Each structure stands twice: as structure tokens, then as C-alpha cells.
Amino acid sequence: MPSGTRESRITASGESPHNESGIQAVGIRRAYLVMHGAEHARFSAAVEPHLDRRRVAGLFEDVKQIALAETDAWPIGDAADVYALLRRLAQRFAFQLLFGEGEPARIWRFGEMLADYHHANWVRAAMLARFHLPFTPYRQVLRQAEALMAFILEGMAARRGCPVDRDVRAALAAVPSGGAEPGGDAGGCPRDAARATAAHVAGFALASFETTSTTLTWALALLASHPAIAAALADEVAELGPLAAVDDPEVLAGLPLLNAVLNETMRLITPVPVLGFKTLRDGEITGFDLRENTTVMISPHLTHRDAGLYPAPDRFRPDRWTTVRPNTYEYLPFSGGPRRCPGFQFAKTNLRVALCAIMARYRLALPAGGRIDRAYAVITVPRNRVMLRLLPAGGRNEPPPAQGGSFFALFSRDQDAASRTPVAIRRMAGS
Ligand code: HEM
């Protein structure tokens, strides 16, 4: 068994090592993302029913409407920054469907404020020197966090009284915190309780839209650089008929190449490449004696690149998903154990719907001389804009122009796999 597989099992500790971020500093010390033990379990129990398969299936129509409306407005012909377009789309999925934000202006503002906060928080100087002093990067983080909290609190007050079963935010507010009073909705509840809820909301919002938008961006970049796979996927989606007429999310869950492309994208460019945990008690893990409170880092990125699990691991080969059957700890884009991503059903539906909507309408091409690089900011994000040409669907996909020194050099085109994939996947579909 590969070492990454065994090491991954320590996720059972259920502890999170995140340091205090700006949101914790100006909100509460124990937002959902940094809770553990019984407190975390209480919040999970409140949130999970909002994100389970049945509830997500109930959102399917809304997800489709959002995806179709957003992608319909994309510019055809010239190169466009698909990362920016997909951020808008993922913001609507998250803020409209999870937090009930209806006004587009507020949705975009929410996204901008979260991104500004996240980027400020991720400046190295702000992480290393958390001093409340004027003109320091950390002070900038606190300012961004405070503005974000104020914005969320304003939205909460406006939506006061929303039934818990319609809104993840309301569900978070209803959880008794530390056995004390519920989190509050900023309208009549204690100020600190409302701020606690706002801190949970900020974490949820960040966790949901940044991951979804980057995963879709990488999927499009990989498809643009593998035209044969993109053409086969376009055929699969065309055979489905109009997306608007699909009324069952399981239909999309059953499309072999669509799911293989998404699985392979998250394997190759793992959205959250490193997960950190702390041990709750002394113990032994894979032969190592670990003391309580030891930080343990797990890298899904490395596990996903284990050649014993995934032959030719650096290649984009969706057809491998016809044969590989990894267990939870061999393929973990959504983590595993008690800290597994609670939004994975919602995320998977959104990814499938969005990719179908895009492939039904557009053919993707790399502009000449384009360059795409990655950066690490908890999530694997594009370092800059991701410029792709969006051509009308149909027609012939041109081979991508030669690239050098970029992301495309690393995940170099695999013509062999590109020509094999459609056949292998289609055979699986027919079986
Ligand atoms: C492609 C999309 C997504 C990916 C790849 C992803 C992946 C992950 C991973 C790996 C973790 C564990 C992080 C850690 O332990 O440090 C996580 C946690 C989390 N995710 Fe997701 N996620 C996605 C979408 C979503 C969505 C749509 C939501 C909200 C509906 C969401 C909400 C959360 C929350 C709240 C946590 C923290 C859970 C906890 O601390 O117990 N995620 N996600």
C-alpha cells in the first residue's frame, strides 16, 4: 500500500490546525472551519442536511438556470479570462443558493470582498507577523475581515426570519454555540452571537466558491489543451439533448466522460493540495509515535501523483477512470473522515452542470502564446488570468499551439491518451 494511502488515515483525528485568521480575530475564535470534537460535530449535524443528496437534488433546477444564464452571456470569438467568468458563476451558485443572496450587485460584492480578504490574509508578512500595528499587512487583513463581517451582518439582518430549512446561514445561526445561545441573525440577538454566525458564513462562502471556480477553470484549461478529449466530451453532452430539459441530476452523474474529466482534473490539479491536522491524543500512526497536539500534514496532491495508484500520474488521462477504483484515502479531492468537505454533493452537481452548459455551447481553444501557471493559496489557483478562446460549439478543434515553461509543459499533451480516451470511455458507457 502506498505510504500516502496509509498516512491519509490519520484524518480520523478530526482536528484542524488552522491558525487564527483575520476573521477569527475580528469575529470569533472558533469558526466552523477551526472547530473540532463535539462542537464541530454539532455544527456538522446542523449543516449536513442542507447539503445532502436529496437537498442538492432539490436545487438542481436552480443550478441549471444559473449555469445556463451565466454561460450564455460569455463572449464568443476572442480570448476571454475564463477564471473571471467562472468566479462569477461559482459566486452565484454559492451565495444565491446557499445564502439566499438575490441581488447580483451584492453577490459580486460578496465575492470581491471575500477574494480581497483571502488575498490579504495570504500575504506572507501578514501570516508571519500577526501584530495589530498601523500600516502592517496584518492590520490590512483585519480591516478586510472587519469590512467582510459588516457586509455579511447587513445581509443577515435583511434576511432575518428566513426559515432554517431554506438557508445554510440560518442553520448555522440556529446552532447553540458551546452549549450557550444560538448564533443569532443580527436582528435582536446578541452582537457577538451574530458575529459568530457571520464568521461561519465567511468560511463557508470561501470554501465553496473558490474551490468550485478554480476546479472548473483547470478543467477548461486541460480540455483546451487536449482537443480530442474535448471533442469526445462535446459529443457526449450533445447526445444528452438540451440541458434545460434534463430534470434529474442522476442523468449527469451517469455521464462517463463528464465525470472522468472532472475526476481527472481534481486528481491532476488537486484543489486543496495539502491538508493539516492535529492529533487529539497520544497515539501511533503508521508506526510513528505521535504526541497529542502534533501537527500532521497530508498531501492529496502527492497521493494523487503516486504512480502505483495512477500510472503516468503527470498525464491528463480521463480514460484511466474506466479502470482505477481508488478508495477514499487514495483519491481525496474533498478530504476524508470527519473533516470531509460537507459541500461535496453540492460541488459535484455544480461542476457537472456547469461543464455540460459550457461544452454544449462552446469549443475551447488556447490562444497562441498563452501561458497558464499555478500558485498555492490554500487552494491551487491560477497565478494570473486564464485566457482561452471560446468558439461556437461544433467544428473542428485545432491542435493547441506549442507552449513552453508553463503549466502546459508540465501536464504535456498526451496524444496517445487523447486518441484512446473517447473509445475507452464510450465502451464503458455502453457496457
Ligand atoms: C470543487 C469543489 C470543492 C472542493 C474540491 C472542496 C474540497 C474541500 C476539502 C479538501 C476540504 C478539507 C479542507 C481541510 O481540511 O483543510 C473542504 C472543507 C470544507 N468545504 Fe469543501 N470543497 C469544495 C466545495 C465546497 C462547497 C461547494 C462547499 C459549501 C457548500 C464547501 C464547504 C466546505 C466546508 C464548510 C469545509 C470545512 C469542513 C470542516 O472544517 O469540517 N466546499 N472542502
Closest CA to ligand 1's atom 24: 208
Give distance in angstroms: CA of 9 to centre of ligand 1: 18
pLDDT at site 423: 36
Query: Among 367, 421, 372, 411, which residue's Cα sits nearest to residue 390?
Result: 367
Residue whose CA is closest, atom 18 of ligand 1? 341
Residue 253 has pLDDT above 70, yes or no: yes
**What string of DSSP letters covers 44-110?**
HHHHHHHHSHHHHHHTHHHHHHHHHHHHHTSPPSSEEEHHHHHHHHHHIIIIIHTT----HHHHHHH
Amino acid letter for position 266: M
C-alpha distances in Å from residue 125, one per residue of 33, 65, 116, 144, 145? 23, 42, 16, 15, 16
Instruction: Report the separation in Å between the CA atom of 391 and the middle of ligand 1, taken as the mean of its atom positions.
Output: 33
Which ligand 1 atom is nearest residue 204's CA?
A: 35
- Choice from 59, 209, 211 to test ligand 1 binding pocket (greatest atom count within 8 A of CB): 211
Confidence tier at 313 by pLDDT (50, 70, 90): very high
The CA-atom distances, in angstroms, between 303 and each of 22, 70, 156, 270, 285 are: 31, 35, 40, 10, 17
Find the mean pLDDT for residues 214-237.
Answer: 95
Domain residue spans of the chain: 3-429
Determine which residue's CA is closest to atom 37 belonging to ligand 1. Answer: 33
Report the SS3 class of residue 245: helix
Q: Which amino acid is at 35?
A: M
Lowest mean pLDDT among 98-112, 255-269, 324-338, 413-427: 413-427
pLDDT value for 271? 96
300 within 8 A of 35, measured Cβ to Cβ:
no
- Encode pLDDT of 278-306 as tens digits: 888 898 888 889 998 888 889 999 999 99
Q: Which of 341, 351, 355, 378 to mutate to test the pocket of ligand 1 (most atoms within 8 A of CB)?
A: 341
**Residue 222, SS3?**
helix
**What is d(CA 75, CA 276) in angstroms, rounded to the nearest whole number?**
40
Please tell me the predicted confidence (pLDDT) of residue 140.
80
Can you say how many angstroms the Cα of residue 108 is from the centroid of all Cα atoms in its chain?
18
Q: What is the pLDDT of residue 21?
A: 60
Of the listed ranges 145-159, 349-363, 389-403, the one predicted with least confidence: 389-403
How far apart are alpha carbons 389 and 224 in whole angstroms? 9
The answer, yes or no, to whether residue 244 has pLDDT greater than 80, is yes
Share of the chain above pLDDT 90, in %: 42
Average pLDDT taken over every residue of the chain? 80
4 is written with which cell numbers?
Answer: 500516502
Pocket of ligand 1 from Cβ distances under 6 Å:
16, 33, 51, 98, 204, 207-208, 211-212, 215, 271-272, 275, 333-335, 339, 341-343, 346-347
| 427 confidence band (pLDDT: 50, 70, 90) | very low
The per-residue pLDDT for 56 is 94
Closest ligand 1 atom to 168 CA: 30
What residue's CA is closest to ligand 1, atom 11?
341
Closest alpha carbon to 300 in 324, 325, 269: 269
Would you state the CATH architecture of domain 3-429? Orthogonal Bundle (1.10)
